[in-house]
Chains A and B, each alone.
Chain A
Amino acid sequence: MPEWPSQYHPPPVAIHRAGHGDTGTPHHPWLQHHFDNMAQQAEASTLGMWVFLVTEIMFFGGLFMAYIVYRHQSPEGFQEASSELNRVWGTINTLVLICSSLTMALAVRAAQTSKSAKAQVGWLLGTIVFGLAFLGIKAIEYYDKFTHNHVPGPHFHWEGHFPKPAEQFYSLYFAMTGLHALHMIVGVGIMTVIAVLAWKKNFDEEYYTPVEVAGLYWHFVDIVWIFLFPLLYLIGGHFKGA
C-alpha cells in the first residue's frame, strides 16, 4: 500500500489531534478548534470578507451600470445636472474619506504590532470622527438639494435645458450616495464595536483579524466614493451650457 501523501492531505487523525488543541500544545485562546493555526484562521476570515466585498462590488455595480446607461442616453443633460453639485464639499469629503482610510490602516497596524489599547482605540476613534464628518457634510449637501427642489419627485424643479435627464441624474445621485452613506453609517457602527473590543485588550500581533476585516470593509466604502466623486461631481466642471 502506498504511503499517505502527507504533503497534500495530512492523515485524518492528525487533523483531529491538531484541531482540538488538547494534545498538550499550547495555543492562542482565540484559536477556534476547527482551524489548524492562527494564520489559517485569519486567512479564512479575510477570504470570507473578500467574497462578501465581491457581492458588494456587484451591488454597487448595478447602480453604476444604470448611471452608464442613462448618461449614455443624455450626456449633456448629465453634465448640466452635475454642474449644480457643490464641488468644494465633494472635494473636501473625498479628502476626509482618504484621511479616514489612513487612520484605519494605522489602526490595523497598531493592533498588528501589539501597540497599546490606547493607540489602537485612538486610530479607530480618528476613523469614526472622519466618518462622521463625511456624513455631516453629506447632510449639508442633501439639505441644500431639498431647499433647491433638486430632489426627484413631484416637487422636482429644474431651471436648465434638460429637466428630464437632470431628474434621472439626481435619482441616481441620491440612490448611489444614499447607499454609500448607509454603508458609512454601518461602518461607523462596526468601528465603535471594534474600538470597544480594542479597549478591552482583545487584539495583539497574534490575533487582530476583526480589526483587519473591519478595515477591509471601510476601505471598500472609500473605493466606492473614489468612483462616485468624479462621476457625480466632476463631469459638469467644464460645462458651458447647451
Chain B
Amino acid sequence: MSGHVAPKMMYVMVWLALVIGTGLTVLAAEVDLGAFNNVAMLAIACTKAALVILFFMHVRWSSRLTWLVVASGFFWLIIMFSLTMTDYYSRGWVPGTLR
C-alpha cells in the first residue's frame, strides 16, 4: 500500500504554524478592532483548520473522492449557517411582520 509519507520536519512546521496562529489569535483578541475582531479570529481559525485537514489529516495527498466528501461537509454547513441567518437578519424588515 502506498500512503504518502511526509517528512517529520513538515509535521513540526505545521505544528509551529498552529502554535503561532494560536498566539496571534490571543493577541488580536486583546485589541479592540470592532467588527474586525470576528473577521481576524475566524480567518486565523479557518487557516489553522485548513492546515490540520490538509497536512495532519493527509487530505493534500488523498483521492479526489475524499476531497469531494470533505468539501461537501463544509459546503452544507455553510448552507445551514447562511440560510438560517438570512432569516434572522431580515426579520422586521417588512413592517408588521415577525420580529
A contact set with B: CB distance below 8 Å: 37-39, 41-43, 46-47, 50-51, 53-54, 57-58, 61, 64-65, 68-69, 72, 87, 91, 94-95, 98-99, 101-102, 104-106, 109, 112-113, 205-208, 212, 215-216, 219-220, 222-223, 226-227, 229-231, 234-235, 237-238, 240
User: Does A207 contact B56, Cβ atoms closer than 8 Å?
Assistant: no
Beyond A50-B70, A69-B88, whether A101 also contacts B77 by CB under 8 A is no
Distance A39 CA – B26 CA, assembled complex (angstroms): 42
User: Does B2 contact A235, Cβ atoms closer than 8 Å?
Assistant: no
User: Does A54 contact B42, Cβ atoms closer than 8 Å?
Assistant: no
Minimum CB distance partner of B50 in chain A: A223
10 cross-chain pairs, A with B, having the tightest CB-CB distances, nearest first = A237-B29, A54-B73, A234-B29, A38-B1, A238-B32, A102-B15, A230-B41, A57-B73, A98-B18, A105-B56
User: Does B66 contact A223, Cβ atoms closer than 8 Å?
Assistant: no
| Residues of chain A lying within 8 A (CB to CB) of residue B52 | 101, 219, 222-223, 226
B contact set with A: CB distance below 8 Å: 1-3, 5-6, 8, 11-12, 14-15, 18-19, 22, 25-26, 29-33, 37-38, 41-42, 44-45, 48-49, 52-53, 55-58, 62-63, 65-66, 69-70, 72-74, 76-77, 80-81, 84-85, 88-89
Beyond A91-B22, A98-B19, A99-B15, whether A212 also contacts B3 by CB under 8 A is yes
User: Does A238 contact B56, Cβ atoms closer than 8 Å?
Assistant: no
Nearest CB on A from B57, distance (A): 5
| Residues of chain A lying within 8 A (CB to CB) of residue B56 | 101-102, 104-105, 215, 219
| Residues of chain A lying within 8 A (CB to CB) of residue B85 | 68-69, 72
| Residues of chain B lying within 8 A (CB to CB) of residue A50 | 66, 69-70, 73
Distance A113 CA – B14 CA, assembled complex (angstroms): 20
User: Does A219 contact B5, Cβ atoms closer than 8 Å?
Assistant: no
Candidates B6, B33, B73; contact of A53 at CB < 8 Å: B73
User: Does B25 contact A223, Cβ atoms closer than 8 Å?
Assistant: no
Distance A87 CA – B18 CA, assembled complex (angstroms): 18
| Residues of chain A lying within 8 A (CB to CB) of residue B66 | 46-47, 50
User: Does B57 contact A219, Cβ atoms closer than 8 Å?
Assistant: yes
Minimum CB distance partner of A55 in chain B: B73
Minimum CB distance partner of B72 in chain A: A54
User: Does A223 contact B53, Cβ atoms closer than 8 Å?
Assistant: yes
| Residues of chain B lying within 8 A (CB to CB) of residue A101 | 15, 18, 52, 56
